[in-house]
Chains A and B, each alone.
Chain A
Amino acid sequence: MAGSPGRSAIIVASIALSISLFVALYSLDAFQQALGFPGALSTRSYQYWMMVVALTVSTVCVMNTMMIAVYERYREIGTMKCLGALDRHILMLFLSESIIEGFIGGLAGLAFGLSLTSIYIGITSGPGSLLRVPGDRILALSLGSVLLSVALTLGGALYPAYRASRLPPVEALRFEP
């Protein structure tokens, strides 16, 4: 089951953008160290702050979009409660949607971030240097970024999903957007 495709797209794009910054910085750092340069992150600590701010902003965006999605789906929630859905069914519905969105956003962000790094390294150090991929660090980064993406999306969805699950059925059914 899925909600409005537009809302899901906003959530995926928001999380993908911040994850791509995260991936780009970490993979750049890993490449530079593999090539014998001081890593971008080890020399410029403010970049950590940029990353934290980007990830926080995208989580807030997920939460905001999810609140609107819940609002738009009041009648749907009311109908499901009318058909016997328990609070936990509604909670699980919204949380599982957010996990899928977080996973897709994480993969997209990973692909975008790695592409940016590859282009930058290819231009600055020559295409040949791309062959010296720091495999283990990129693999760990790939897994970590998708997990982080799912965790942040899930975190942003918690409160809206809780609100949705607690809606009294009569109020949700009476609602007309």
Chain B
Amino acid sequence: MSLDIIIELEDLAKYYTVGGEVIRALDGVNLQVGRGEYLSIVGPSGSGKTTLFNLIGGLDRPTRGRVYIDGVDISRLDAYELAWLRCRKIGYIFQTFNLIPVLTALENVALPTIFAGVPRDEGLRRAEKLLRSVGLGDRLHHRPSELSAGQQQRVAIARAMANDPAIILADEPTGNLDLNTGMEIISLLQGLNRTRGMTLISATHDLKMIKASDRVVYIRDGRIERIERG
């Protein structure tokens, strides 16, 4: 495996059995993602995008095949090591933001640093810096319900970066946002990808996101249909 490949998927498959019927959510996916690459994954709903994200993110185990992250086969990791991976290597951004409603923006962003064992003061300092970098320096102590959708997604982006991960997985990050706010989020993510060299994988239907990416992977019925340059 060459050094600049950060993620490699090898014959990756995930089957579910629902009511006696086997559903092939993913069925033999092979893919290499370079370090610092911006990849968009496009496909109709039910095509296997979320399953693919769950497997790359170490949230689920494959039925067949392997996921290598930095050369490590993560299907061999135990629950503790997978949590370590999710905490330090991977940042998640959800379509529905998934902020903790009772926590302020600052506390939400500092949350992953608690899981990483970072001292509280250092975690809060880091969170403040990240919130300022996404343009929310004046919203530190607001709760999610006091923020607009776009601001909430900015908080979620800052949270995803809290432990300085190498990979950001964004599951339809602009799916719940209007056109202009979506554009702001896209340029924010693109900026992070360029300036920090984070590998960005984004599931999307958004044409603007697709245009901004280095490569576009089209997925259908659990298989890669084609890969295009962005």
Contact = CB atoms under 8 A, between A and B. Distances in A.
Interface of A: 1-3, 75-76, 79-87, 89, 168-170, 173
Contact of B112 (A1, A84, A87, A168): A84
Nearest to A5: B102
A84 B87 CA distance: 4
Interface string B86-113: 1110001010001010110001000110
Contact of A76 (B79, B100, B107, B114): B100
Interface residues of B, number: 25
20 contacts: A1-B102, A1-B103, A2-B102, A3-B102, A79-B98, A80-B100, A80-B115, A82-B98, A83-B86, A83-B87, A83-B115, A83-B159, A84-B83, A84-B86, A84-B112, A85-B87, A86-B115, A89-B115, A168-B60, A169-B59
Contacts of B83: 81, 84-86
Contacts of A81: 59, 83, 86
Nearest to B160: A83
Contacts of A87: 79
Q: Is the interface of A mostly helix, strand, loop or mixed?
A: helix
A73 to B, nearest CB: 9
A84 B91 CA distance: 9
A83 B112 contact: yes
A91 to B, nearest CB: 13
Contacts of A89: 114-115
Contacts of B115: 80, 83-86, 89
Q: Tell me which of B83, B102, B112 has the highest count of chain A C-beta atoms within 10 A of its own C-beta.
A: B83
Interface in B62-81: 79-80
B127 to A, nearest CB: 13
What 4 A-B pairs have minimum CB-CB distances, sorted nearest first?
Answer: A84-B87, A84-B115, A79-B98, A83-B112
A83 B88 CA distance: 9
Nearest to B60: A170
Interface in B142-188: 159, 163
A173 B57 CA distance: 13
B133 interface: no
A80 B59 contact: no
Nearest to B51: A170
